[in-house]
Structure 1
């Protein structure tokens, strides 16, 4: 469905909270629900918001989100496609578009940034979304941005803005720089993550920020400089109807399952591979199934080869929801080896199936997984020996597996469901609308009448500048471009191009997820 053609139908009757149903624009610059958490968040949150009686229109770019159809004739979320040039698509990632594909200056900006080793999508999607929303002024009660944090979303969008920041991408940048082996790699990481400077500047100006954990909240304060009183924690969760125990699925002895959307230091997969080698010394049948793309080079591929684990580590990609659930059910142990997570959906989903969990204490994982020995076995991040000890202990103790599995599911049911997440999110929508002087469907005396987006006049003026860029030649991707999406300095362009090819596969995995 195109941006021009897609319109969600009107909601019927009051919402589940007894108030007026809301018209929600949910923005996502990347919506793949099978690789990375942003697409999962949009898919499940949009469904539950619609179940609560609200009209939800997801506005997204490639890879487009997959949205659920509701039962019983209820209006489900609608998708409006806001296409980019899709520069990272398979089978030709980092492609150069043909001349007739260029539509405007935003397309030229997107290609120019990609050519110089940067990641353009947060900025370019925000500019397209701004144009789209301003053309449809009055269609929405609230705009909900899913971590785009682009300049285009500052100022008046025609409705109050609420933004979800799962965790600051500056954390990813820091971990990748720490793991960089040489100056070329460090340069490539800095260039790729140049968009985080924009995200810092935008985040500080946002009136209402949602995040998924207390750990992420503190990281947003520390890394992005957002005022703590503007940040609200709304936990997300698992689809507990889908991720549920099923005794009919046979458990495979020695099977360990983990999810790793990309071969990046943040996910800690290399430590799990090293741990597996140690586990197999005592449990020869232990083997690992990784939900994610097999790396052909890099630390994980090297570790698999170094420890002779070619037959003991399997990668699966592109499986259906049902296949994923059965895979997790079939494991004796699920593992989250990440150095840092803003929430950890894989932990919540594994616990929801009743599969016992070994997890690190990186970032917000303890908020999800709970206490060591009660709902999981917890180990320090980056410690392969501790991972191996916990995995060996759990593989060898069926009573402990049963106890942790049952306690883990109960914890998820109490605290981490998408229905709870949607209810908490709607409460923040109505609060943002009241703060902006909008009708929320309920009286709230004394609410301040401020700029509809909650921004200061100076910030609004800065945002207006993105609608009037410096002229560029139509159809010329080599025309000069400006802003944070461009090279760090004019002389950086040649250096960026020189290291571009050496780091393509790693950036491809990040871009497509």
Structure 2
């Protein structure tokens, strides 16, 4: 079988978790004998075509995308035109069994390519604009993106989501039958999480004194990630204990407001905002921190929680979205708190930060728990859908 996977990012071009997902999926599929071609974008220094770990990667040379939302929409349209032109060339060179695209950003190119070669079009939805903005999608550019996502989901031959929560969400928001959607969880490879800092103890001392407890917040600094709730929850604990410090890793539209909030709460001297960090630094932070909070209001899956647990960092997560499928409700591998409830989060943190034995037990159980989120299984289930669609049958929804 030969497939064309289309994604707007693919390592080393990384904007978020989507690119990492596509890479691990593609490489796992290739190991299973599927000929995988990835169509993506790249800068001037990257080769137009290359073999990366058994995956044929084809790149269009797009300029850096603009930060202005309206200009970004126009940039996406131009990228799709360039991607379709290259896709048409690839379809002349190779006979693909299907086209598999990721999120709305490349839907235009993917749909045209699939229809022109009369092959099935499979879409993976990683998140929705409706979810990111809690349903407020009336204004541009949110309205444009929401419409593009709706058209993509309705016109695709089948849809994959990263969690059962997202399967229901996508069906309800876009008005499609649940039978058209299959939920396949993301995977994780603990070998990818090895820290690169040569001296973890020295790194930890940069952020916490000996005997202090160090709390990690990581992700895009945007409203739906709920970091403002975590700061509200940490403030009374820091005031009472004095031995708790925190690090915030990431950038986003809420960064300036979160820094102002930290100052208002008296937290400025008890933590640091690191800004954007690479994977190497992130993997090291997982190892030196005692606890990771994932306080999301909207969370399609919860990869940060998986990565933290695989690295031996205890997780406290919001009881929402895909996080419920990553951290079970029984409290055996991590802890939950009611979403949007900073007071409840503070109580959970107070309890676990004072109980070394419970933290150690949860960390040990979590290391075993994450092994079930295996990329080989993700690839196997995805390949099943490929085979079914290529044969002209209806893909299984589950």
TM-score between the two structures when normalised by the length of structure 2: 0.84
Q: Does 1:114 align with 2:114?
A: no
After TM superposition, give the deviation of residue 328 of structure 1 in Å.
0.4
After TM superposition, give the deviation of residue 55 of structure 1 in Å.
2.6
CA contact (8 A) 1:213 1:235 kept: yes
**Residue of structure 2 in register with 1:461 after alignment:** none
After TM superposition, give the deviation of residue 114 of structure 1 in Å.
3.1
Q: Does 1:128 align with 2:128?
A: no
Secondary structure of 1:354 counterpart: coil
Q: Does 1:430 align with 2:387?
A: yes
**Residue of structure 2 in register with 1:153 after alignment:** 110
**Residue of structure 2 in register with 1:214 after alignment:** 164
- Of the three residues 282, 287, 290, the one matched with 2:248 is 290
**Residue of structure 2 in register with 1:502 after alignment:** none
Q: Does 1:404 align with 2:384?
A: no
Bigger CA radius of gyration:
1
After TM superposition, give the deviation of residue 298 of structure 1 in Å.
4.7
**Residue of structure 1 in register with 2:91 after alignment:** 137
Secondary structure of 1:143 counterpart: strand
Provide the rounded CA distance (Å) in 2 between the counterparts of 1:410 and 1:300.
34
CA contact (8 A) 1:333 1:358 kept: yes
CA gap of 1:354–1:419, structure 2 versus 1, over 3 A, is: same
- More helix as a share of residues: 2
CA contact (8 A) 1:29 1:121 kept: no
- Structure 1: 5+ residue stretches without partners: 1-21, 68-72, 95-112, 178-185, 436-446, 449-513
Secondary structure of 2:321 counterpart: coil
Secondary structure of 2:298 counterpart: coil
Secondary structure of 2:272 counterpart: strand
Provide the rounded CA distance (Å) in 2 between the counterparts of 1:361 and 1:393.
17
After TM superposition, give the deviation of residue 193 of structure 1 in Å.
4.4
Q: Does 1:243 align with 2:193?
A: yes
Secondary structure of 1:194 counterpart: helix
After TM superposition, give the deviation of residue 234 of structure 1 in Å.
1.1
Q: Does 1:344 align with 2:322?
A: no
Provide the rounded CA distance (Å) in 2 between the counterparts of 1:392 and 1:63.
47
CA gap of 1:353–1:259, structure 2 versus 1, over 3 A, is: same
**Residue of structure 2 in register with 1:10 after alignment:** none
Provide the rounded CA distance (Å) in 2 between the counterparts of 1:269 and 1:331.
17
After TM superposition, give the deviation of residue 206 of structure 1 in Å.
1.2
CA gap of 1:302–1:318, structure 2 versus 1, over 3 A, is: closer
Provide the rounded CA distance (Å) in 2 between the counterparts of 1:376 and 1:340.
19
CA gap of 1:287–1:295, structure 2 versus 1, over 3 A, is: farther
CA contact (8 A) 2:224 2:298 kept: yes
CA contact (8 A) 1:30 1:63 kept: no
Provide the rounded CA distance (Å) in 2 between the counterparts of 1:223 and 1:347.
26
CA gap of 1:119–1:285, structure 2 versus 1, over 3 A, is: farther
Provide the rounded CA distance (Å) in 1 between the counterparts of 2:61 and 2:353.
47
TM-score between the two structures when normalised by the length of structure 1: 0.66
CA deviation digits over 1:156-203, x for unaligned, max 9?
A: 14232211001322111336x4xxxxxxxx98x543442211221221
**Residue of structure 2 in register with 1:26 after alignment:** 5
- Of the three residues 170, 177, 183, the one matched with 1:227 is 177
CA gap of 1:314–1:193, structure 2 versus 1, over 3 A, is: farther
Provide the rounded CA distance (Å) in 2 between the counterparts of 1:31 and 1:375.
31
CA deviation digits over 1:219-262, x for unaligned, max 9?
A: 0001112221110111112222233799x95576311112122x
CA gap of 1:233–1:296, structure 2 versus 1, over 3 A, is: closer
**Residue of structure 2 in register with 1:310 after alignment:** 268
CA gap of 1:216–1:122, structure 2 versus 1, over 3 A, is: farther
**Higher RCO (Cα < 8 Å, 6 or more apart):** 1
Q: Does 1:260 align with 2:219?
A: yes
**Residue of structure 2 in register with 1:36 after alignment:** 16
CA deviation digits over 1:96-139, x for unaligned, max 9?
A: xxxxxxxxxxxxxxxxx835xx6345544434333332333251
CA contact (8 A) 1:254 1:283 kept: no
- Equivalences for residues 2-21 of structure 1 within 5 A: none
Provide the rounded CA distance (Å) in 1 between the counterparts of 2:79 and 2:316.
37
Q: Does 1:367 align with 2:312?
A: no
- Equivalences for residues 450-469 of structure 1 within 5 A: none
**Residue of structure 1 in register with 2:34 after alignment:** 54
Provide the rounded CA distance (Å) in 1 between the counterparts of 2:381 and 2:101.
16
CA deviation digits over 1:404-435, x for unaligned, max 9?
A: 11111211102x12222122111111111111
**Residue of structure 2 in register with 1:327 after alignment:** 285
CA gap of 1:157–1:255, structure 2 versus 1, over 3 A, is: farther
Secondary structure of 1:425 counterpart: helix
Q: Does 1:382 align with 2:382?
A: no
- More strand as a share of residues: 2
